[in-house]
């Protein structure tokens, strides 16, 4: 076996695994690794100025590339700073290898400054966590971690790397990577049982989740939806474009309330969830969203999600791209002539209704275009109408988001990425990771003013590496989503029209000045027309730019 340093072995192991980018912010325990980077030419080190921003960059990169992202942090404080965004990565099933430097093992027992039990700190938010105690074991740990991150259901993993493991030389056999084939086909008997129910359903509906986009299964889900003439809703907090937004059966998102969901589901006799979230709420309700007698067929890559909240008549563990064609073929073999005729009539009726509603929604948005301050619907419609077809939209606008995927045409599996976990501050830096993964596609990030301030340091990274991302700040000078939800409680705040801790005024935040101080061009927009003109200019110039839009500040629920 060759004698080499741990730091050299670590980088060689990453290259074995196909890694070309590492995100990081170094400290003293990472100095051996940074020393190795001085002569490293195959892995690009992307420096960020705060760990939460870096974690979101790595998350965005992993999702957009459908591959591994690697992030290097600095001991306990660095990992601690990243934890909120690590939670988001876990919820998004983002395959990220998170590493953190650790103090040397030889004196870790003395509890030196900055040290902690790092694997225990990370473990609640990762699939697997460990600390390397011998340089000779480094290959097994690295390969095991990456195999685990990329195995279905994908997700983040963590390795603690003590400084002496990286500094010291040892006889190290690099071994080789292992990949778990991801396209698991669902059990044949379960597929047949699901097809039987779907073929006989008279009023089926589909909920599409992130597993569809993650497995690149748009085509397969479209074929099944058309076969049974079922409208397709996307899950409440989609992290991806789980169904083509321009398809005639795309129904958008149900109203995110128990009563709203019940109103929709009462119209159907069977729900087919393809990797969909059933259901995650922000607030409790006395309304049961699940009608008595509604059948559930549930397909997911994660066994934990199957039947988690509502019992499934058929639960299938499988990859959507691999399993949906089997179900569609089995449906075709089981549908009677009468059922096929009924499906054809239902397809015509459902698509006509969707088209009418979609046109009315767009008309409503366009009618708001001349109002100032800018209305969210009007801005979303205008942006959707002018973006190039290959644009990728990153969305973290929370209270301004309802209807976004009906207005911005996200039609392929890499065209849209949203905040799944709910830990705000993700969108601004995630756009940088997405751009690094998809350098040939325009990337536009729509971000709320409150969210932007959590990780605004990320703009510096875009400036340093000349990454032409466009950020559009939906600036309503408040945490408006909190105001909306507080109003829904019908309590003292609504009566007094007073919202403590939710105003971002006095002083106002100068986003344009902030952007320029971090090396990014910035401009303000007072109207929809101003905003789209600035976006068009940024697309043409192919440079990073921040556009601060003066948004409507009302807080009544939309």
pLDDT tens digits, 47-60: 999 999 999 999 99
H helical segments located in 74-137: 75-91, 118-122
- pTM equals 0.96
| Domain identity same for 441 and 403 | yes
| Domain identity same for 511 and 490 | yes
42's tokens: 């195959």
C-alpha span between 226 and 518 (Å, rounded): 49
- The tally of domains found in the chain comes to 3
| Domain identity same for 95 and 236 | no
**Residue at 179 is within a domain:** no
Q: Which residues of 24-62 are buried (b: 16+ CB within 10 A; e: fewer)?
A: bbbbebbebbbebbeebeebeebebbbbbbbbbbbbbbb
**Residue at 178 is within a domain:** no
| Domain identity same for 431 and 534 | yes
Q: How far does the chain reach from its first CA to its final CA, in angstroms?
A: 65
C-alpha span between 355 and 350 (Å, rounded): 9
**Residue at 182 is within a domain:** no
171, 198, 232: which is the final residue of a domain?
171
Q: Which of 330, 335, 233, 226 is nearest to 274 (CA)?
A: 233
Pairing of strands 3-5, 169-171: antiparallel
**Residue at 373 is within a domain:** yes
H/E run at residue 516: helix 511-517
Q: Which of 1, 65, 11, 75 is nearest to 39 (CA)?
A: 11
Residue span of the structural domain in which 282 resides:
188-356
Q: How many CB atoms lie within 10 A of CB 385?
A: 14
| Residue 169 · residue 134 · CB < 8 Å | no
C-alpha span between 270 and 197 (Å, rounded): 8
| Domain identity same for 139 and 273 | no
C-alpha span between 407 and 397 (Å, rounded): 14
**Residue at 504 is within a domain:** yes
| Domain identity same for 259 and 399 | no
| Domain identity same for 123 and 213 | no
**Residue at 45 is within a domain:** yes
**Residue at 363 is within a domain:** no
**Residue at 556 is within a domain:** no
Interhelix angle 337-367/218-228, rounded to 10 degrees, is 120
171, 199, 221: which is the final residue of a domain?
171
Q: Per residue of the chain (558 residues), give pLDDT as tens.
A: 689 999 999 999 999 999 999 999 999 999 999 999 999 999 999 999 999 999 999 999 999 999 999 999 999 999 999 999 999 999 999 999 999 999 998 888 899 898 899 999 999 999 999 999 999 999 999 999 999 999 999 999 999 999 999 999 999 999 999 999 999 999 999 999 999 999 999 999 999 999 999 999 999 999 999 999 999 999 888 789 999 999 999 999 888 889 999 999 999 999 999 999 898 887 788 999 999 999 999 999 999 999 999 999 999 999 999 999 999 999 999 999 999 999 999 999 999 999 999 999 999 999 999 999 999 999 999 999 999 999 999 999 988 888 888 899 899 999 999 998 989 999 999 999 999 999 999 999 999 999 999 999 999 999 999 999 999 999 998 888 888 888 888 888 888 888 898 888 999 999 999 999 999 999 999 999 999 999 999 999 999 999 999 998 877 755
Q: Is the peptide bond before 317 cis (omega within 30 degrees of 0)?
A: no
| Domain identity same for 254 and 343 | yes
172's tokens: 């190290």
Q: Is 350 exposed, middle or buried, given 0-12, 13-18 or 19+ CB atoms closer than 10 A?
A: buried
293, 325, 356: which is the final residue of a domain?
356
| Domain identity same for 202 and 167 | no
498's tokens: 């007073």
| Domain identity same for 50 and 142 | yes
Phi, psi (rounded to 5 degrees) for 527: -145, 165
Phi, psi (rounded to 5 degrees) for 197: -65, -45
| Domain identity same for 414 and 372 | yes
Largest CA distance in the chain: 77
288's tokens: 């049961």
| Domain identity same for 210 and 265 | yes
CATH code of the domain covering residue 45: 3.40.50.970
CATH code of the domain covering residue 315: 3.40.50.1220
User: Residue 325 region, left (φ>0) first, then alpha (ψ -120 to 50), else beta?
Assistant: alpha
C-alpha span between 527 and 375 (Å, rounded): 9
């Amino acid at each position: 076996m060759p004698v080499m340093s741990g730091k050299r072995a670590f980088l060689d192991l990453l290259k074995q695994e196909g890694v070309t980018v590492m995100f990081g912010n170094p400290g003293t325990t990472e100095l051996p690794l940074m020393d190795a980077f001085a002569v490293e030419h195959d892995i690009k080190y992307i420096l960020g100025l705060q760990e939460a921003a870096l974690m979101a960059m790595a998350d965005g990169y992993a999702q957009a590339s459908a591959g591994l992202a690697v992030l290097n942090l600095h001991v306990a404080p660095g990992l601690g700073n990243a934890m909120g965004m690590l939670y988001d990565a876990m919820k998004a099933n983002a395959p990220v290898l998170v590493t953190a430097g650790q103090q040397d093992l030889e004196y870790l027992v003395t509890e030196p400054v900055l040290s902690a039990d790092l694997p225990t700190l990370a473990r609640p938010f990762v699939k697997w966590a460990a600390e390397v105690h011998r340089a000779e074991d480094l290959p097994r740990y690295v390969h095991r971690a990456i195999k685990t991150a990329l195995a279905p259901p994908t997700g983040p993993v963590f390795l603690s790397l003590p400084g002496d493991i990286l500094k010291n030389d040892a006889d190290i056999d690099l071994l080789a990577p292992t990949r778990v084939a991801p396209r698991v086909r669902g059990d044949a008997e379960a597929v047949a049982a699901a097809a039987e129910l779907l073929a006989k359903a008279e009023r089926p509906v589909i909920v599409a989740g992130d597993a569809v986009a993650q497995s690149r299964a748009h085509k397969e889900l479209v074929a099944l939806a058309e076969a049974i003439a079922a409208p397709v809703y996307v899950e409440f907090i989609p992290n991806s474009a789980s169904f083509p937004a321009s398809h005639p059966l795309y129904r958008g998102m149900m109203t995110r309330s128990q009563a709203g969901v019940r109103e929709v589901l009462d119209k159907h006799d069977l729900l087919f969830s393809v990797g969909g979230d059933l259901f995650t709420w922000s607030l409790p309700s006395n309304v049961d969203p699940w009608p008595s007698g509604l059948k559930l067929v549930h397909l997911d890559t994660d066994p934990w999600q199957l039947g988690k909240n509502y019992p499934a008549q058929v639960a299938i563990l499988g990859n959507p791209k691999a399993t949906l064609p089997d179900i569609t073929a089995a449906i075709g073999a089981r549908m009677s002539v009468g059922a096929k005729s009924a499906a054809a009539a239902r397809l015509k009726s459902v698509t006509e209704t969707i088209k009418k509603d979609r046109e009315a929604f767009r008309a409503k948005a366009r009618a708001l275009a001349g109002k100032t301050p800018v209305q969210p619907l009007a801005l979303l419609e205008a942006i959707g109408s002018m973006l190039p077809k290959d644009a990728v939209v990153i969305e973290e606008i929370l209270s301004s988001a309802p209807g976004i995927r009906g207005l911005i045409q996200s039609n392929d599996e890499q065209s849209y990425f949203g905040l799944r976990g709910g830990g705000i501050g993700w969108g601004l830096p995630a756009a940088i990771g997405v751009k690094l993964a998809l350098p040939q596609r325009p990337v536009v990030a729509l971000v709320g003013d409150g969210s932007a301030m959590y990780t605004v340091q990320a703009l510096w990274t875009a400036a340093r590496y000349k990454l032409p991302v466009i950020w559009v700040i939906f600036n309503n000078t408040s945490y408006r989503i909190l105001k909306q939800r507080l109003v829904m409680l019908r309590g003292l705040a609504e009566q007094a029209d007073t919202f403590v801790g939710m105003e971002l005024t006095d002083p106002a935040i100068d986003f344009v000045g902030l952007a320029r101080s971090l090396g990014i061009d910035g401009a303000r927009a007072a109207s929809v027309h101003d905003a789209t003109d600035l976006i068009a200019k940024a697309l043409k110039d192919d440079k990073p730019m921040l556009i601060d839009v003066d948004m409507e500040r009302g807080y009544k629920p939309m």
